[in-house]
Each structure stands twice: as structure tokens, then as C-alpha cells.
Structure 1
Amino acid sequence: MAILPYNELSALFEKSGMTVNEEQYRLLDKYAELLVEYNKVMNLTGITDPLGISEKHFLDSLLIFKLADISENSAVIDVGTGAGFPGVPMKLYRSDLDVTLLDSLNKRINFLEAVSRETLPMTCIHARAEEGGRKNELRERFDIAIARAVAALPVLAEYCMPYVKVGGSFIAMKGPNEDISQGENAVKILGGEISDIINYELPSGDKRVMVIVKKISPTPTKYPRNGGQISKKSL
């Protein structure tokens, strides 16, 4: 068992107004088991204890369902997914979602493909975020693009907004120490508007911010720029 026992995980989720059933628990535990196993030979996460995985990876990822409106059967892309957060827990908790996991590191994609085989089917794509956003088969094809990343909002928006269809949403899951207003101009240029900024915290007291951006018009074709340009001069 790589996460808390079922009754303890249920209690942890209930503190945040969430529930978890036994099938969801089984899938999450299998994922955690693979995460800990693969982490011995590759750097996936610094958090490997059962409480840490349960709260800081799983509950943190899944609070999106309490804080944002994710319609049934939505197509979701997790951009720069890393070890699979939040995209994998989202799929394991809501099997109706069509989840795509995109990451620039092939060994992480190999790990995620193993998780997909052992739990529920997900699409795993090896690509840099700015390259994927220019591909016809991915550009403006998703109801939701999501990222749980340290990049500032103007940078993250340029990586993620090209994937979102008009009427869809880009959701950024962030720490507490960023001036979100600095991303407003970038979001506008890329075809969106910030519709909600939600401050919340985990049971441990760790503070989080969720930024929800609505896509109101197509992203201009010149975006995303290449990675060097994005990091050198954000919008």
C-alpha cells in the first residue's frame, strides 16, 4: 500500500468536502505503487510517503473537481504533466474524462504509459509544450488544458492556451506567491479572459491558488512562439 489506508484517505478527503469510493481508491493506490517503484530508478517526485502522496499529490490534484466545473466526457490535456499530476488522478477519479498527458521527457512518458496499462487508458504524448500546441491534431482540440507548474502565468498561458477550443478553459494550479494580474495581458492576447482566481488550502495548511481562464476567441496562429522566445520575453 503506497497511500493511506482507505478509511484514512476517506477522512482526509472529507476534510476538504470530497469523497472517494473503493474503486477510485484501488486505482489511485496502484498508481502510487508504480510511482514509488519507478521513482527508485528515475526522478519522478520528492514526495513518496503515503500521507504526502495522498494529500499533496492526489487530494491537491482532485480538488479541481470541487473548485472548477469539469463537464462529463470532457477532453482534458495535462501540459507538462511530469509524473502525471494532476491528469492521472483526474482520470482515475473520473473515468468518463478523455485524458491526454503531454511531457517533454520520454522516460516520464514511458512511466505514464505503464500507469495507463495498469489502471485506465490515457493518451501519452512525448513533445515539448510549444511544439504540441502547433500540431493540427492537438491545437484547439481540448475542452480543458491544465497545468500544475511553477512557471509564471504569462509563460504557462502561452504553453497551454493553444490547446483549448473556443468555449473551453485553461486551468493553472499554482502556489500562493504570484501576482496573477501580471498574466492578464498574456491571457487576453492568447484569446482568453481570467474568469476566476480561487485561493484554497490543503488540510496540512499548504496554500494554493487555482486560476481559471475561459477561451473566448481563437489563439492567433503566431502563438506559441518557440521556447527560447517564451522564456526570454513573456507576453
Structure 2
Amino acid sequence: MDNRMKYTIDSNMQFPLVEVGLEKGESVYISRGSMVYHTPSVTLNTELNAKGTGVGKLFKAMARSAVSGESTFITKAISSADDGVIALAPSTPGQVVALELGEQQYRLNDGAFLAMDGSASYTMESQSIGKSLFGGQGGFFVMTTQGEGVLLANTFGSIKKISIENQSLTIDNAHVVAWSTSLDYNIHTENGWIQSIGTGEGIVNTFHGTGEIYIQSLNLQTFAEIMGSYLDRSGS
């Protein structure tokens, strides 16, 4: 048993469900609240989202949640039979992309994590104060993958993969989903606060080097502002 995720993404659906097949003893980590349905052999267990044991593990998980916005807990699905199935759906309407971990590792933006098989893992990598204050990548920590396996990431809207080789590229931070750990990155304003207000671009992320960047076509922050304006009118 290699514990690698066996999954299918329904391409006939505009906003697809993901079905994950589990053999006896296999497990998968899933985003909190992402389960749609599962077979009787699959059990969902809540675990503290940190390494260690006892009270120290609890405090680590709580501290991580306080500074990064990440949940204190993570859900682990495990099957007691060879025919286990669990279906997952993202919290926002969009696509799901499977990232193969091994030679390539990734950092993930907030809200991009959907699932990861039990053969891989991740850490919360500390960021510089400047990067954390400009935000969007988990505050003081950014999720960074490790090991070999499959990571499922979800997007708001459609997804596009961009490959750069010894280049630099600036992307609106709210459109960034995931990027190779081989890339250097710098979160900053587009051209100072006044210019950023004028252009409406706000915070951007400039990548340097060779690697992959996954971006989403829609901006959740902009969408929330538009919806908020309508809600304000209806409540006035």
C-alpha cells in the first residue's frame, strides 16, 4: 500500500466534485468542510494541525491559527475497507488542479488547499515581516509542501499555469494560487500606496527564477467588495 491518492475530477461539471478512492488503511487529509459524501467504510477524524504531542501540540496549533488564519484542526479521512470513497468540493466556485509532489514542491496561497494524500506532508514556513504584513499568503506563515504524493488545490474561477525560466513576473497577489518553492517571491505594492490606489491593483507578488506559478482568473477580494456594495444598498 503506497497511500498515494487515487482520485477522479469530473470534467463534465462546471464546478467539479473530486472523488477520492481509498483502500483499507489509506488516508487523505482534506480541507475543513470540504466533504460532500463518503461510503460507510470511510471515517472522518479531527486532528490538531501541528507536530508534537500533548499540551504542547495544542498550543502550537492554536498559535499557528492565531498568526496565520489557518484552522487549529485538520480533517483526516481513513478507510476501513478497500472500496472507500470520499467526495470533496471547494468552498468557492472554480476548478481543481492536481499537483504532483516530489521533484517539484509548492507554496500555497490562503484557501487553495483542498486535499493531500497520506504519503505527502506540509509545513508552515515562516515569512519575513514585510511579506506577512502585505498579506494573502497566510500571514506570518505560508503552507509549503514536502515529500511525494498528490496535492489537490482549488481556485476561484479558472486556473492557468505559467512557467518562467530565469525570469521575473509580477502578478496581482489575490490571483496567486500556488508556486514552486524554487522561485523567490516578494509581496509589495504595485508602485507605492498612492499609485496602487489610483490603479486599483493594490498588493502584487513578484516572482524571480525558474519554476511554475498557478493563477486563478477571478479575484475573491474584488468579488467580495462588489457583493458588499450591493448588500449595503439593499440594507439602506
* TM-score bracket for this pair, using the shorter chain length: under 0.3
Q: Which entry has the higher C-alpha Rg, 1 or 2?
A: 2
TM-score, L = length of structure 2: 0.27
TM-score, L = length of structure 1: 0.27
Whichever structure has more strand as a proportion of its residues is 2
